[in-house]
Amino acid sequence: MSKIVHRSLRGTLPFAVSAQGVHITDHEGKQYIDASGGAAVSCLGHQHPDVLAAMHAQIDTVAYAHTSFFTTQVAEDLADTLVANAPAGIGHVYLVSGGSEAIEAALKMARQYFVETGEPDRSVFIARRQSYHGNTLGALAVGGNEWRRKQFAPILIDVGRVSPCYAYRDQLATETPEQYSERLAQELEATIAEIGAKRVIAFVAETVVGATLGAVPPTPGYFKRVREICDRHGILLIADEVMCGMGRTGTLHAVEQEGIAPDLMAIAKGLGGGYQPIGAVLASTKIVDAFRKGSGLFQHGHTYIGHPVAAAAALAVQKVIARDKLLDQVKARGAYFEKKLRATFGNHPNVGDIRGRGLFWGVELVEDRATKKPFDAALKLHAKVKAAAMQAGLMCYPMGGTIDGERGDHVLLAPPFIISEAA
């Protein structure tokens, strides 16, 4: 029996013994097509020679140096590259080891900003229901996935909560998408008023909702109104692009398509493409300047922040994406993928909705297409879909049946950017 505490302690997992491009092969020689990118991680596919070479070169030079003693050229180069391609106002990068760490760091940066700037009474975050921001305590607290939160709720900080932007289920038949965005903006405004605008630190949201709802993009104007409301009240905007960022939706950052810039943005997954554990917070100049002028430090830190081999992997991934113009490929392959998804499943009686952007797609499964009635959670449909897909040699990312008890099942598809039409 395995000594590892695996995600599930029931059943056994196949061993991954080799991987190449969009495929992973198990110990019995069975090949799986990676259509989830390891939950939207593997953007370049597996064993990309440029990334492996960059990691080897870094290991041969400096494999590790603690960041309280040294910086490394590779970490500086990665930060320069990320800032050069970041939304307006972003001037700095805090390098961590993954998505949850990035969210934790962003929450603390936001809080410290107000301590530094003389507003220590700001102590409340506002976030959305049916969201996922990671599994560490701060990230879990702002996250709105009840199944993940439930048993830990007594040890989580209180968070102000608003509705997700989830047009398929929540936009009224009498509303335009813009009117729906406006209704959600009014809800945010009312929640801020209820908490007290001067007590709110930040609004936290995934630009395109990933794991909890299944690739749900915002409706038109939603983030513009959110940005405007946050600005008016001096509240920071934290965009969680851990899953939807770094090219997944066809632009490097999903916020580009919303025409806004956040104050802090968490990125991970596609940043290092799975070659190394790495995430980052992209921070606005105003925040880091406040730290510089004030205490002179960001009061945080982990042993592996700015890890040079992780930075080398991420820098190589980003260089390949730019050199091979892979964002164009995400748009083109994404359009093809959408066409195929709609042609294959668009009329299926149990497919309620198909939505997404770029190479980030969600298919919502329902018992009744007309009423949008979800399948009974007890059916554990997501587990059955996953098992059937693995049997057929396909890695996809089905979830659901547990979200607020009745919000439904969906299958997330996020293949590597290098996928061919034939695959």
Only one residue has tokens 């996953």, namely: 386
Gap between the Cα atoms of 129 and 132, Å rounded: 9
The three-class DSSP label of residue 409 is strand
Strands 236-241 and 31-34 turn out to be unpaired
**Quick check: 239 binds ligand PLP (CB under 6 A)?**
no
In this complex, which beta carbon is closest to ligand PLP, that of residue 101 or of residue 116?
101
| Sequential DSSP letters for 254-303 | GGGGGT---SEEEE-GGGTTTSS--EEEEEEHHHHHHHHHTTSS-S---T
Cβ pair 355, 209 in contact under 8 A? no
Q: Is 99 in the site for ligand PLP (CB under 6 A)?
A: yes
**Taking the complex as a whole, how short is the minimal distance between the CB of residue 131 and ligand PLP, in angstroms?**
8
Q: Please answer whether residues 24 and 17 qualify as being in contact, where contact means their C-beta atoms are separated by less than 8 angstroms.
A: no
**Cα(412)–Cα(235) distance, integer angstroms:** 32
Question: Least Å distance between CB 99 and ligand PLP?
Answer: 2
User: Which helix (H) or strand (E) element contains residue 236?
Assistant: strand 236-241
Query: In the stretch 124-143, what mask flags binding to ligand PLP with x, by CB under 6 A?
Result: --------xxx---------
Radius of gyration, alpha carbons of the chain: 21
Q: What share of the chain is helix, strand, coil (3-state, %, to 5)?
A: 40, 20, 40
For ligand PLP, the closer of residues 240 and 409 by Cβ is: 240
Q: State the nearest-atom distance from the C-beta of 39 to ligand PLP, in Å.
A: 6
Residue 268 within binding range of ligand PLP, rule CB under 6 A: yes
- Measured over the CA atoms of residue 193, residue 197, residue 200 and residue 204, the dihedral's sign is positive
- Using the minimum distance from each CB to ligand PLP, give the nearer residue, 70 or 152: 152
Closer of 90 and 142 to ligand PLP (Cβ): 142
Cβ proximity to ligand PLP: between 103 and 246 the closer is 103
- CA torsion angle for 41, 46, 51, 55 (degrees, to 10)? 90
Part of the chain binding ligand PLP (CB under 6 A), chosen from 2-10, 92-100, 281-289, 334-342:
92-100
Decide whether 78 or 239 has the Cβ nearer to ligand PLP: 239
Give the residue with the Cβ less far from ligand PLP, 100 or 329: 100
Residue nearest ligand PLP (C-beta atom): 99
Considering the complex, what minimum distance in angstroms separates the CB of residue 209 from ligand PLP?
8
Of 35 and 103, the one with the shorter C-beta distance to ligand PLP is 103
Q: With contacts defined by CB under 6 A, name the span among 95-103, 217-225, 313-321, 347-355 that binds ligand PLP.
A: 95-103
**Minimum CB distance to ligand PLP, residue 308 (Å):** 20
Answer yes or no whether residue 206 interacts with ligand PLP by CB under 6 A: yes
The answer to the question of residue 274 lying near ligand PLP (CB under 6 A) is: no
Is residue 210 a contact residue for ligand PLP (CB under 6 A)? yes
Spatial CA neighbour of 159 closest among 169, 147, 172, 145:
145
Which phi-psi region, left, alpha or beta, contains residue 55 (left: φ > 0; alpha: ψ -120 to 50)? Answer: alpha
Question: Which one-letter DSSP state was computed for residue 173?
Answer: T
Stretch in the footprint of ligand PLP (CB under 6 A) among 13-21, 161-169, 235-243, 364-372: 235-243
Q: Which of 104, 240, 258, 263 binds ligand PLP (CB under 6 A)?
A: 240
Spatial CA neighbour of 360 closest among 262, 253, 218, 216? 216
Question: Is 211 an interacting residue with respect to ligand PLP (CB under 6 A)?
Answer: yes
- Should residue 103 be labelled a site residue for ligand PLP when binding is judged by CB under 6 A? yes
**Which residue number, 222 or 291, has a Cβ lying nearer to ligand PLP?**
222
d(CA 133, CA 206): 8
Nearest to 128 by CA among 216, 220, 41, 254: 216
User: Is 321 an interacting residue with respect to ligand PLP (CB under 6 A)?
Assistant: no
CB of 221 to ligand PLP, least distance (A): 22
Pick out residues in 10-39 that bind ligand PLP (CB under 6 A). Answer: 39
Residues that bind ligand PLP (CB under 6 A): 39, 98-100, 103, 132-134, 206, 210-211, 240, 242-243, 268
